[in-house]
A and B are shown apart, each in its own frame.
Chain A
Amino acid sequence: MDLFEYQGKSLYANYDIAHPNSFLVNKIEDLEHGFNLNYPVVVKAQVQVGGRGKAGGIKLATNNDELITHTNEILGMDIKGHTVEKILIEEASDIKEEYYLSFTLDRSEKKYLMMLSAKGGMDIEAVAEENPDDLTMIHIDPSKELDEAVLIDAITNSKLNLDYESDLVEIITRLFKLFISGDCDLVEVNPLAITSSGVMALDSKVSLDMNAKYRHEDFDQIEKDIPIPPSEKSAKEKGLNFIKLDGSVGIIGNGAGLVMSTLDVVAEYGGSAANFLDIGGGAKAETVSAALEVLETDDSVSSVFINIFGGITRCDLVAQGIVEATKGKDLKWPIVIRLDGTNATEGLKILRDNPNEKIIITETMNEAAELSVKGNR
């Protein structure tokens, strides 16, 4: 789960990672009560999209009047389709040097990857492409501790300012601790800066591994603070994995791979999916009813394709869910169903015993895709 800058910085605070003093603004009135920051301050739009500076989402304010003007201007601003709902006001830093640092998992190597560069404050992908030697990449064995000697080597090789070596080792070690103990998929700091008040993390890009939610009390609140479309929200509350797409065929399936391939097959027959909806493994009847309810809230759906291949999921329970959700209802759209695998025979029997004129049972995935695309026109 990708965090906003301000959320990443509140995690910095938990790990004693130096960052500028700041104040979070939700509405202009929040400024009336004043705050403990020294001018000049930077007014930063909180959006999860790159290039906010160029879009006018970052402004410097040297006094209260400028602050109010900029805050008014940026709050509610649209940046590449993202509305600015929160603003982070930070004390401006006197920057001497800007570096880049990140920790992530290298999936091919199955090790953690630290990337460090003296060319911070700019597009790091461009640095990696044009001057790969300027980017130091170090793999860290997840079964071992981070070795300080390796860190010092990396700092030296990256040609960072060695006058600040011990401060850099300290902040990088703390950022690594956040990455590991904080169960982050990504910790990226660009820039990691040397300022007149020491080494500081000036920006934050943090992504959390939600599988680790059970061991972090704060993940739940962080998640609640990230706005998501209403349909995705209601799906999430029901334990479904739902993503809104642009087409008109509603898709329900079990397993991410099968649902993705259902999208592909629908496209082959000339249709396009209205969503990605994975009911997961071992779904119960209630899960299936809930999935249908989610699609009912989406006006762009004009037919539904339910594609189930039972393994740990039992087709009879899926069928039961479909019947419970549709019985005696005048359905808005046709539902094309394909059931295979564990208890498919029982599932098909349940559907046939409870006929509904809008429900079509098919033998194969192709046939179902074809009919759901046709039913759409």
Chain B
Amino acid sequence: MAILIDENSKVVVQGITGREGQFHALRNRDYGTKIVAGTRPGKGGEQVESIPIFNTVQEAIDETGANVALTFVPPAFAKDAVLEAAYADCQLIVCITEGIPAKDEAEMYNLIKNNTKSKLLGPNCPGLISPGKSNVGIMPHEITLPGNVGVVSRSGTLTYQAVHELTQLNIGQSTCIGIGGDPVPGMSFIDILKEYQEDEETNAIVMIGEIGGTAEEEAAEYIKNNITKPVVSYIAGVTAPPGKKMGHAGAIVSGNKGTAKAKMEALEEAGVLVVSNPTKIGKAVKEVI
């Protein structure tokens, strides 16, 4: 099973001729991901290492049956690229691009929600991987292991750290997902938690949050009422000084709202096992499964 992507997902890479787009398209294909197409306006008909390039996502879908879009398009053009994929009915759009203006993110999120059935992951996220099946993003698949723990995180590199801790203890993952740390992410913790709850292959969930916003508090409320599977959590930024921006525009602590402490308490109250350090995640999962 796994969630959102599996061995049957067919991926079209938007911006496949760019440095990152090409590198990760080929790397993911080597892993076994079905990379069936790429897009780059004006380069339709060409190829990247035998992957056909199309001018538009619609053409790519018509010709190859692609159902997932992986977006590496630069910030100034990312909104249009994501909307193009959504209006072409891509089931899932994974936007890796970092540095998209918040206004563009807010606009595209609401346009997709109001007018399409597409799911958007990101922007500014590492994507997702269902180990052994498909890698749609930039996560290093070497650190993953097929199994039954679902991982979801706001941070990229911290996701890798958590997955690494699990794999070191021989605990495999059903799917690992980074939702991104931008002000308006597409899929939220709650959207992903819901998918993991419904997935028969997932037995336990690891959720990694960070300071800023209230996404973790909302997730805690959701877990309390809807999630029956065990959840382990870590919140980054316990020692971050208040009021400082820590790289993600969202990570701004204001008052007690959004602090690591408030988030940890909310999660504990929802029955989540909260650990104080990312290296303790593996052991904690072992405890709950």
> Which residues of A does B touch, CB under 8 Å?
105, 107-108, 110-112, 141-144, 180, 183, 185, 209, 211-212, 214-215, 241, 243, 245, 253-261, 263-268, 272-273, 276, 278, 281-282, 309-313, 340-342, 364-366
Contact = CB atoms under 8 A, between A and B. Distances in A.
B2 interface: no
Contacts of A281: 98, 138, 156
A263 B240 contact: yes
B55 interface: no
B9 to A, nearest CB: 20
Contacts of B156: 255, 257-258, 281, 311
Interface in B155-213: 155-161, 164, 181, 183-184, 208, 210-211, 213
Contact of B157 (A111, A143, A258, A267): A258
B161 A258 contact: yes
B239 A254 contact: no
Given A185-B249, A214-B75, A260 B213 contact: no
A341 B160 CA distance: 8
Contacts of B239: 263-264, 266-267, 272-273
Interface in B227-256: 234, 236-241, 244-251
Nearest to A107: B213
SS class, residues of chain A in contact with chain B: mixed
Contacts of B262: none
A110 B101 contact: no
B277 A209 contact: no
Contacts of B114: 141, 143
Given A261-B236, A340-B164, A366-B279, 11 more contacts: A108-B214, A180-B103, A185-B249, A211-B75, A212-B103, A256-B251, A257-B159, A261-B161, A267-B238, A342-B142, A365-B279
Contact of A143 (B98, B110, B240): B110
B51 interface: no
Given A257-B158, A311-B138, A212 B101 contact: yes
B127 to A, nearest CB: 10
Contact of A105 (B100, B106, B164, B215): B106
A183 B75 CA distance: 14
B183 A107 contact: yes
Contacts of A241: 247
Interface in B66-82: 75-76
A261 B164 contact: no
